[in-house]
Structure 1
Amino acid sequence: MPNTLPSQLVRDILQHIRVNALEAGTRLPERGLAEALRVSRSPVRAALQQMARQTLIERHPDGGFMVGERSHEQPVLPEETESPMESIYLQIAQDRLAGLLPDRITENELMRRYGVTRSQLSDILRRIVQEGWIERLPGHGWLFIEAMTSPDAYAQGYRFRLLIEPAGILEPGFTLDVPRLLQCREEQRVLTEGMVNVVSPAQIFDANTRLHETIAACSGNTFILDSLRRLNRIRRLMEYQKAVDREQALRRCKEHLVLIDLLLERRTVEAAEFMRQHLQSAAREKQLSAAG
């Protein structure tokens, strides 16, 4: 499937349906989805039409679309081959990390540098905006947002996560969001059953950060969740720079399943300790891979 914006939004809309536990028959308004996904209505409309053709959703008798019986059946992490636009997206990320792109840049400069049309660039920029590492300047141009660019900063990020993520599980206001955790569990299960070997690095990163941020949200502590979200935004590019070790990724996904099950069984003290061990192990592996 081409990696156009509507094709990307199919996955996002399925995720929206499942995270919010929308039942079959629930209407899917274009405007509401566009606001939730931070895009215009036109690509949302195209994505909904594509989903209807694939019978992932159904047409509402009064017009528009609604959640269908199959909306909860398809894995959120479909097999994906790298498209030309995916390659350009990753090249922009790599050039930004390498210091080859300035903080401020215009669309014309990006079009000339990467040989893309304005329409193609628009799709790529919408994706980067959604991921939180670029923003439009008032009037003209774009501004890249800070990113981790050094191994030391990357290690500090993991040490910070060790401080806040296990503690978040032990917060007095910690309350399980069971539907969201179950959706995360399904994503991790799909990955462990073979998809981790075929999906893109971005999909692995998104599935894993979605789980960790869901758990942080359960803490009830806004500062923990906001801090983790900001950290994930600025470490995203550093993750893309690293070669994906599929065996390590599989091991992490299996650990995620154990962590989710501990939480669902209300074994919060064990879950907090498991989270600590999980992050420590991941940090060691990342440092070893960087050194190698």
Structure 2
Amino acid sequence: MADTYPSSSLATQLALDIRRYIAQAGLLPGARLPERSLADHFRVSRSPIRAALGQLETQGLIARQPEGGFTVREIPLSDPVQPQRLESDEEAAYLQIARDRLDKQLPEKITENELMRRYGLTKSQLSSILRRMANEGWIERLPGHGWTFLPALTSAAAYTQSYRFRVLMEPAAILEPTYQLDRAELLRCRDEQRALVEGAVFTVLPDQIFDANTRLHECITNSSGNMFIADALRRLNRVRRLIEYRKAVDREQAHRRCVEHLKLIELLLADEREAAADFIRMHLRDAAREKASIAS
């Protein structure tokens, strides 16, 4: 995986992105920060991630562990990174672009100048938004000039089908003979889910809930050892992200699902895979019924 920026500037940018990531996910002190997972999340190699983590260690935001790796430290009250992210002008513009894309108000191909004029953004703001959209997988840069939007789920019928597909796929992933649990990543996901259950689910933005839940489900399928199952869920999550933004968020339902996530994680940690497969099947079917009842 090739990096497209000089390592020093990329590491500095990644350090800022990881700080934001820690805040958005509501990670608690002691939460693990695996290099491989961060590299996959930000779509870079592990070398600049390692450099970025070194910068954050120097800043006192994270701590190096004797056995290797890093964990989140207690964040001082004066630290600019807060555990919750309020909706800024940049965030509002990002969500408006998502809504306009779903409503087919934006062409498939568009330039940065067009986006800046349409949404009243500075070049710096737009660069941040485009980087986020590209990381999330629903836009990519065209060779030479401009950007193109990638396919996304836009209909209720397709959304329902996506859940039916997951009901078939995710329990099967757990039962694969090549299944090997990524324990470090699952423990990090458990930290995120605990933070949501303990109250963050009622205060964070909807995309933060989506990202935390997506990381957990992808951790489970990635552990299957089956590249086709893992890739299928990653692709599906990219195209369903925008329609998730459109749906109203029932915080009580979201809280209940996070409680179920913690139960699922404990089953996996105990290596009770058949019980975990049955549980995730029920979890996904119930979630599909609940979300289908919420107007798009």
Q: Does 1:176 align with 2:181?
A: yes
Tell me, yes or no, if the aligned pair for 1:133 and 1:146 is still in contact at 8 Å. yes
Q: Does 1:10 align with 2:15?
A: no
CA distance 1:77–1:146, change in 2 (3 Å): farther
Render the CA deviation track for 1:84-132: whole Å, top value 9, x for unaligned: 1011101100110011011000001000000011111011000000000
Structure 1 position 274 matched with structure 2 position 273: no
**Any stretches of 5+ residues in structure 2 without a counterpart?**
1-12, 76-80
Q: Secondary structure at the match of 1:18?
A: coil
Q: 1:1-292 maps to which residues of 2 (within 5 A)?
A: 7-12=16-21, 18-20=32-34, 37-38=42-43, 52-53=58-59, 55-57=60-62, 71=72, 78-290=83-295
Task: Specify the code of the residue in structure 1 equivalent to 2:32.
Answer: R
- Number of residue-to-residue matches in the alignment: 268
Letter of the 2:156 partner, please give it: P
- Alpha-carbon distance between aligned partners in 1 of 2:69 and 2:127, rounded to the nearest angstrom: 28
Equivalent residues of 2:33, 2:72 under 8 A apart: no
2:32 alignment partner, SS class = helix
Unmatched tracts of structure 1, length 5 or more: 23-32, 60-65
**TM-score for both structures, normalised by structure 2:** 0.81
- Structure-1 separation of matches of 2:14 and 2:128: 6
How far has the Cα of 1:9 moved from its partner? Answer: 3.1
Instruction: Verify the 8 A CA contact 2:63 2:73 in the aligned structure 1.
Output: no
Q: Percent identity?
A: 58
Q: Is the 8 A contact 1:97 1:237 kept in 2?
A: yes
Task: Provide the secondary structure at the position in 2 that maps to 1:206.
Answer: helix
- Structure 2 residue identity aligned to 1:20: P
Aligned CA RMSD, in angstroms, stands at 3.3
SS at match of 2:72: coil
Query: Does the CA-based 8 Å contact 1:20-1:180 persist in structure 2?
Result: yes
C-alpha separation between the residues in 2 aligned to 1:19 and 1:218? 18
Contact 1:202 1:240 in 2 (8 A): yes
TM-score, L = length of structure 1: 0.82
Kindly indicate whether the alpha-carbon contact (under 8 Å) linking 2:34 and 2:69 is maintained by their aligned counterparts in 1.
no
> How has the CA–CA distance of structure 1 residues 182 and 21 changed in structure 2, closer, same or farther, with 3 Å as cutoff?
farther
